[in-house]
Structure 1
């Protein structure tokens, strides 16, 4: 108890003296950022679980491209599961001389099993909640259908060959998916009326959904029974594997925010290590006195560990409160991407932030604390007797273990962890060597400078390892801040610029061969420049070199998505202009049948190489193709793209349709009615809303990135001031000597400004080089965008860094020149 009371007294004394200010600030930043991101991710996960019905309209959903066996539904009934069914397809509606492509959903009487439908009797009417769909002979329609077809509530709408009365306006459906169908206006009808429409014919593109609800144990047993029997075109969806409301954009947002949070924690950890180093050095004399009074090494270590634990508890608690507020900011910025009803913040997210605070504090501050236990009692008589430094492996090992754990939490990717840690260690080594060479080169300039300039320059060179450590800390911090700005502005803007100004915003599907030339003439007459028309048949990849493709598929990979559905297969004499060969050779104009070109990412996911033999099923027949080349392509051009392209003649004998895409301005939309009237079998998909939604997602994500950037800036400034205050005592002694020799305050300010200006300039130069290297890897390896070196950061960042570091040094060292030389010299 005596030791505990002494620890509290020493902690309060240090707090009043300002010894722990920077360390506490850095800890607040790290905990606040980690807690905010952790709470955000935790709320999203629990929202998925709590609102499963709002996403899938059932606890479990089976999706298929064709009706499933009745025995499967019977098995679900035998297990006591409630069932519902929906059938989704596209259809062109013709009313009052107007045409409209609509997404039709035929629902059973039991739909929805989870969640509710919301309807209204008029555009301005209040929403009514319904637990079942339309009655037989009725349809519910989204509001935009009525003005588009000049209809009103109570009118008749013909779907295929079946007239149905418009009973209500459909405002909300729980399981509306984020695909092409969600951008077409919805028509909901009763499943009993579907056969009378005559719309679904052999070869029609239809999605069947079978919803199940019941006890968790029975659902799990049914899923385990059903899983082995699924065909490649069938898939089971549950809340843990499918997130239709959020989409991949939110998953990527969580991952990016998490990795950005790791960067903030690392930067704050550097500040904690610097502040703890100065703290321990200032307590060497006090510890030596305690050793003389009988305290052993274990007592000393426990004494200061208790202080840091108490400090960690207080600062982490405050940081969790800051994080709580921060996650509310994240939710505000990302509100358009999130479900309407969110789970309340959980204690687990706060607990994670608190644990991160304690781990960061003890992990980065433990090496300096370990030095305190090594202080010799003889230091009472010999002030120059410093304890031996802690082994380097302990310092770096603690930091690397913490970073690896954080990266693993947000990515679960071992390769990424190795790349981050290995690349980071290599970058630090290279930067250290570069800094050492720069300092050696700068020494040659000293004789040509003024006295203040020479003193400032030699202040950098003379400290050697200390200066290298400061410059590396500054450069990594500045690089992280620069990358945050670049991702916030340049990368997102570069992505937008990659989309051509008049990117195709309409896709035309189901062009029968007999109408191909006539449609092309119609487009030319309307002044519409369309992309190439590609023949398309539907087929599924089933084997690679005789091995079932499922054996090469990894979970959640591009290969899994491509092999669990039918692919659009095409053939052409020449590859598309915006496709680039990566490996292999393009086939000649007179190529033999049987060759196939594979998209690069799919080839990587399935380990496909040039020369491999691929087997496809088209209908009931088998098609073989040997890989001639692997090509990269850009999916964001909004032009037709294909995973598989065959050489001419490879798919002869199979019935095919054509597809193309074109750009149409909003003012010219009327021409679509003329095209659809002349070619009623066409399916035209308007993707303007897709492009608009992508742009909106980018805007929302950039706002969320801003919040993390603010944490990074705060962490960067704590590093800056920690580095300045870390040498405060030595500088006070040096300043006292210089003033005793006649130096004035202005001269000392100038010398300090030159010293830290040099440190800042070198750190800024290294930071921009490091940031440009990371951006190159990001552009080329992740985003597949062309990289262009920007000259302005090489000018602005070193100058800005020099100014920022100089200002921080002036503020932090202002008390150095104000101290009386006599008092300082007596103290030392």
Structure 2
């Protein structure tokens, strides 16, 4: 019976199925991406690192650290730091990542260069390998020279690939590889320079890396060094990319929920039209269970086919996500088909379709055979207890699926709660609209307008389902648009003339006067001249750092104990700082205990409070301090911010270097200043924040493409739900239009009635969705980004009219058979 009835209603059932397809496709494509990514991380973990394990240190290794390193016999080593590089050919300058390499690195993967021989010979020939994109930007070729600090050497070739590098990381500071033996000649490793020493190891196949890490990590922590194995790095990268997958999974899941709501609504209308047939079947002896199973089998088959087609589409689209994220991935993702993801897609189709359709299907269980003789519909709803039980099962199932996607109880609960609130608001708007129209019906309006408004609350109306589906799609897309706009707006604000856009690092004390003179000659102002003093914690209250590190039950985070703090002193707080506790002391003449201010993250991770004492080691000199204030710091602002802040009058005579900030008018002025400074002071590191802003915008654009691509599934699903809902009630609408034609309505009036109804629905649904997006983004701006939010008018001018137009076009397609045909002819066709 299910098969026979399905043949007669195949068009409608195909529309039900299409509601599921895109939601399933979205879930499957992200699942496949996540599975392939994890598999690639596992298979390529050695190639990502280029070695089996690495020991690294931010400073020259201590005697004990060097003893451990030598005992393991490193196969290669490097020293890495960021500096300015100059190209004598055209006087160009650029911030680069200098990597002084020694040994045959990498052991896995490859260092690709043009020409290929350059990677093999650069150490022997004492030449440089320069990032290929950087060479292209500055029109540099093999054979030209590069100047790093006081060292000038020829360029052997273009570096096109090295393990672990991504497009984003090389955009900030492109790599320049030189022989390690030449690093000393650059004269760039001075006081205050940030550098890193790395030692690469190729392990025997029998070595247990997890055991090695477990035994060596505590020993290396005590000597300010760290160990990373290819397996731990793979796990860390996996967690990072897993967060992206989880977010995209939620967007896909919303599309699936939206499709399921469309199924529930469409099935409800479909079953209402089948109740008379069900009553006839019961007159012929069909049981309630049999009549229920006839349509349940149809829904399950719809779910299976929807899951199957959605899975196939997901398989076809699986290469799209890696394409958008390739700049963020340190390797090329090899695409493969995971059978589990395919099975999950099909099972989700069956589960979600049955779950959301079971409540409307229960009407067939409670229909009476007497309905054959009755004209009214009667109350065929399931008992309240059954309805509540079904709703509980639906919510519980959605929670379990979201928990499976997020692997976090609180996040899953928040997602379900947020989704429920959005649906409740949209449904509440629909119900409120129907109530207002009934009570405040404009009886002085023209006939087409009154009839269109009546259609919003008449039997078989589509107000709730259409406002919900339209509003949710508009909400998703608008929220993503507003959020991206908020982030881009933040970078635009940072580029205003009152804020620095050029930061000069590593300015030595004896260079400050001449540097400022050069800036003045170029007409460039000095906005900030910030002294930097490096120090480490030696004692927290009465316990030494060494004692705390040896305590296996400690709650103090290890980074605080091992970190080299770059601190400053000044008499005023900046705009990015606010005092949370205590009071800021701008000046101190104390010689015994110095009042300081710490950031809230240091207070949290070091378990420090107002009044606690911390002793710092400043280049061998111990300085006792007392915490008198705790600050919040806006680290998102691209300006120097500090964890530890000293008052004026204490650190002036300590070993220090300076950071100078300025604002340049354009790229040409920036290039001139950088060229003048680097030629005179090769040790300087200059960061052009305008380039950072461009990079941030590029990253946001690429990420927004991925998010918008996933949101497109929700939008298309909403459109399909709309088509399904409208087409499901096609015959009901045709009969109403025929009745209007019979009593004398003209084609123009019928067209106007339908158009106005769908204008009301499309306009209200999309407008509510965009307004909800404004509220959601305002919450993000206030509580997450802590920025002012001024919503763009683009969603109101494009999304609202665009969705409304689509709704009207789909709605009017319902009555095209009525227009231009006689009532009798139309009724014969539809019957």
Query: Cα distance, 1:34 vs. partner?
Result: 1.8
Q: For 1:738 and 1:550, how far apart are their aligned partners in 2?
A: 85
Among 345, 353, 366, the alignment partner of 1:361 is 353
Matched, 1:455 2:455: no
Superposed CA offset, 1:214-267 (max 9, x none) = 448611110111233342854443456647999999777545433332332222
Superposed CA offset, 1:409-436 (max 9, x none) = 5544444333333344344445555554
Query: Cα distance, 1:673 vs. partner?
Result: 4.1
Among 257, 264, 267, the alignment partner of 2:255 is 264
Change (3 A) 1:673 1:89: same
Question: What residue is the counterpart of 2:37 in the other structure?
Answer: 44
| Cα-Cα RMSD | 4.7
Question: What residue is the counterpart of 1:572 in the other structure?
Answer: 570
Change (3 A) 1:759 1:542: farther
Question: What residue is the counterpart of 2:717 in the other structure?
Answer: 715
CA contact (8 A) 2:319 2:335 kept: no
Matched, 1:111 2:105: yes
Range that drifts further, 300-309 or 814-823: 814-823
Question: What residue is the counterpart of 1:27 in the other structure?
Answer: 20
CA contact (8 A) 2:611 2:626 kept: no
2:211 counterpart SS class: helix
Q: For 1:518 and 1:452, how far apart are their aligned partners in 2?
A: 81
Q: For 2:69 and 2:208, how far apart are their aligned partners in 1?
A: 9
Among 481, 506, 513, the alignment partner of 1:510 is 506
Change (3 A) 1:647 1:461: farther
CA contact (8 A) 2:118 2:156 kept: no
Change (3 A) 1:225 1:315: same
Question: What residue is the counterpart of 2:631 in the other structure?
Answer: 630
CA contact (8 A) 1:27 1:319 kept: yes
Query: Cα distance, 1:649 vs. partner?
Result: 4.0
How does 1:264-303 map onto structure 2 within 5 Å?
Answer: 264-303=255-294
Superposed CA offset, 1:19-55 (max 9, x none) = 2122121111112222222223333333322222332
1:19 counterpart SS class: helix
Change (3 A) 1:194 1:362: same
2:208 counterpart SS class: helix
Superposed CA offset, 1:461-486 (max 9, x none) = 45599644543443233322333444
Matched, 1:325 2:313: no
2:107 counterpart SS class: coil
CA contact (8 A) 1:570 1:642 kept: yes
CA contact (8 A) 2:495 2:501 kept: no
Range that drifts further, 20-29 or 618-627: 618-627
Matched, 1:416 2:405: no
Query: Cα distance, 1:618 vs. partner?
Result: 4.6
Question: What residue is the counterpart of 1:223 in the other structure?
Answer: 213
Change (3 A) 1:115 1:542: farther
Query: Cα distance, 1:655 vs. partner?
Result: 1.9
Question: What residue is the counterpart of 1:123 in the other structure?
Answer: none
CA contact (8 A) 2:78 2:180 kept: no
Among 746, 757, 760, the alignment partner of 1:758 is 760
How does 1:51-130 map onto structure 2 within 5 Å?
Answer: 51-68=44-61, 83-90=75-82, 103-120=97-114, 126-128=115-117
Query: Cα distance, 1:166 vs. partner?
Result: 6.6
2:505 counterpart SS class: strand
Q: For 1:165 and 1:759, how far apart are their aligned partners in 2?
A: 69
Q: For 2:419 and 2:138, how far apart are their aligned partners in 1?
A: 61
Change (3 A) 1:434 1:303: closer
CA contact (8 A) 1:297 1:374 kept: yes
Change (3 A) 1:113 1:308: same
CA contact (8 A) 1:133 1:190 kept: no
Superposed CA offset, 1:647-678 (max 9, x none) = 33465664221112334544342443433454
Range that drifts further, 767-776 or 456-465: 456-465
Q: For 1:529 and 1:245, how far apart are their aligned partners in 2?
A: 43
CA contact (8 A) 1:511 1:658 kept: yes
Matched, 1:525 2:550: no
Change (3 A) 1:790 1:157: closer
Superposed CA offset, 1:93-112 (max 9, x none) = 79979796764433342422
CA contact (8 A) 1:138 1:164 kept: yes
Superposed CA offset, 1:193-234 (max 9, x none) = 667877656765321223334448611110111233342854
Question: What residue is the counterpart of 1:639 in the other structure?
Answer: 639
Change (3 A) 1:579 1:149: closer
CA contact (8 A) 2:48 2:331 kept: no
Matched, 1:479 2:470: no
Change (3 A) 1:599 1:721: farther
Change (3 A) 1:807 1:614: farther
2:381 counterpart SS class: coil
Range that drifts further, 176-185 or 59-68: 176-185
Contiguous gaps of at least 5 residues in structure 2: none
CA contact (8 A) 2:488 2:697 kept: no
CA contact (8 A) 2:619 2:655 kept: no
CA contact (8 A) 1:617 1:623 kept: no
Question: What residue is the counterpart of 1:187 in the other structure?
Answer: 177
Q: For 1:155 and 1:250, how far apart are their aligned partners in 2?
A: 39
Range that drifts further, 644-653 or 18-27: 644-653
Change (3 A) 1:49 1:588: same
**TM-score, normalised with respect to structure 1:** 0.82
Matched, 1:587 2:620: no
Contiguous gaps of at least 5 residues in structure 1: 1-5, 121-125
Query: Cα distance, 1:7 vs. partner?
Result: 3.9
CA contact (8 A) 1:84 1:109 kept: yes
Q: For 1:278 and 1:608, how far apart are their aligned partners in 2?
A: 63
Q: For 1:64 and 1:710, how far apart are their aligned partners in 2?
A: 46
CA contact (8 A) 2:279 2:372 kept: yes
1:630 counterpart SS class: strand
CA contact (8 A) 2:99 2:175 kept: no
CA contact (8 A) 2:12 2:728 kept: no
Q: For 1:678 and 1:470, how far apart are their aligned partners in 2?
A: 68
CA contact (8 A) 1:61 1:210 kept: yes
1:757 counterpart SS class: helix
Change (3 A) 1:240 1:484: farther
Change (3 A) 1:343 1:681: closer
Q: Which has the higher contact order (CA 8 A, sep 6+)?
A: 2
Superposed CA offset, 1:256-288 (max 9, x none) = 433332332222222222222223333334444
Query: Cα distance, 1:811 vs. partner?
Result: 1.7
**TM-score, normalised with respect to structure 2:** 0.82
Query: Cα distance, 1:342 vs. partner?
Result: 2.0
